[in-house]
Amino acid sequence: MRKELNVDHLTRVEGHGAVNIVFENERLKEIRLRFTEGPRFFEFITRDRLWTEIPKIVSRICGICYVSHRLASCAAVEDALGVEITPEIKALRKLLAVGEYLESHALHLYFLALPDYMGYPSAIAMAKDYPNVVKRGFFIKDIGNKIMKLIGGKTIHGENILPGGFESVPSVDDLKRVKEDLYRVIPEIRATISLFESLEYPEFNNPHEIEMCIEAEDFLSLADKVHISDGTVFTKHEYELFVEETVSDYSTAKKSKVKGKPFLIGPLARVNHYIERFSIKSDVENLKIKFPSANTLHANVARALEMLEAAFIGLKAVDELISSSPFNGRVKVTPKKGTGCGVKEAPRGTLFHKYTFDDTGRCVAANIITPTAQLQSVIEKDLRDLVERSYDVEDEKLKKRAEMLVRAYDP
């Protein structure tokens, strides 16, 4: 006997997706996770475009994480054209990334994930009974948005971010206000950690054979190297040699594997790797949930920890920028023939951009590997393991568990 369970529209995720679970003779036969990544042809659109235009175009891939796309793109252009940026530009880019992480993680935690655990269909419904919880989510998001607007020029698709640096830089007074905002947001993030650690997480210890993230000073940096949990470290120029992309016949997103296996990226992989380097030692030691963790659902606690660590990274960056002010926020970029790569941790996972330019600075080839494309295989693996462990669970409850698992990735 054949039975199908379908989640036709995965709600409360930043992207779009659906899940199809097929049983045959009471045994799991197939799981299909369909991500809808429209045929936007960004890699094709970049053809024949000048190096100055590329970051503007590719940042439109995602409105939520446009900063990561724009910075990874700028880094790839700079790598191709042999540009060295200054410590001040690096610090300003890191502060910009702090804003993105605060906004994106707060959005996910409070408005996409939390209703599942509080028993509400949406954050709007939850706000009637827990208005101050929802207000906290808005407050953290607002601080992130203010940082992105100040440095990027706008909250979404800011045009101030350029290859070689920034068109303009914030004043000392602006930076002091950012510092005040970061100090204001830290208690709210600590309350977020306490809230998400207190939630009931289903037992789903499901170790991932391969976890991957950048190898850098911290998870907010632009990276030259990538770390795999089996101990392998490869350069950004080797990314395509390790991350193998294939086309799926049932999803418009590509599927990716490393060494022939699904691999974990995103907040849980990052916290598992960086936890011993975090500056928030006392907060980590007081956790009841311990990291490294093999429970995919603990990605929500990982996001909260990343927000706190990001706030302290931001404070350090602000102090560096204030002490260096006034500084030049842009270095000269001269077009030439070359190929370059940019790798960055977007809030949802590792992001890769690669461009080849001719001697006039026009793009002749591009490749972009998004977190969505890299997550499909590992989510399908987790879904399969979840369903096989839940054979006696009623259909509606199983569908809800499947949705919660996918939402933990926020693909």
Q: How far is Cα 226 from Cα 269, in angstroms, rounded to an integer?
A: 12
Q: How far is Cα 361 from Cα 96, in angstroms, rounded to an integer?
A: 27
Percent of the chain with pLDDT over 70: 91
What are the sequence ranges of the domains in the chain?
Answer: 2-409
pLDDT for the residue numbered 14: 60
Q: What is the DSSP letter of 350?
A: E
Structure tokens at 233: 């470290």
pLDDT, tens only, 8-35 = 666 666 666 777 777 766 667 677 777 6
Q: What is the DSSP letter of 111?
A: I
Helix and strand totals (H; E) in the chain? 14, 14
User: Do 300 and 407 touch, CB atoms closer than 8 A?
Assistant: no
Closest by CA position to 89, among listed 331, 316, 332, 329: 329
* Strand pairing category for 363-369 and 222-223: unpaired
pLDDT for the residue numbered 30: 73
Closest by CA position to 101, among listed 58, 148, 39: 148
pLDDT, tens only, 52-103 = 999 999 998 887 889 999 999 999 999 999 999 999 999 999 999 999 999 9
pLDDT, tens only, 191-219 = 999 999 999 988 888 889 999 999 999 99
pLDDT, tens only, 127-179 = 999 999 999 999 999 999 999 999 999 888 889 999 999 999 999 999 999 99
For 216-249, b where at least 16 C-beta lie within 10 A, e where not — what string? bebbbbbbbebbbbeeeebebeebeebbeeeebe
Q: At what angle do helices 131-152 and 172-198 cross, to 10 degrees?
A: 150
HSE (CB half, 13 Å, CA atoms) of 296? 28
User: Do 110 and 133 touch, CB atoms closer than 8 A?
Assistant: yes
> DSSP letters along 190-237, please?
HHHHHHHHHS-----B---S-BEEEESSSTTSEESEEEETTS-EEEGG
2-409 carries CATH number 1.10.645.10: yes
Q: How far is Cα 393 from Cα 165, in angstroms, rounded to an integer?
A: 54
Residues 6 or more apart whose CB falls under 8 angstroms from that of 39 comprise 252
Assign 368 a pLDDT band (cuts: 50, 70, 90).
very high
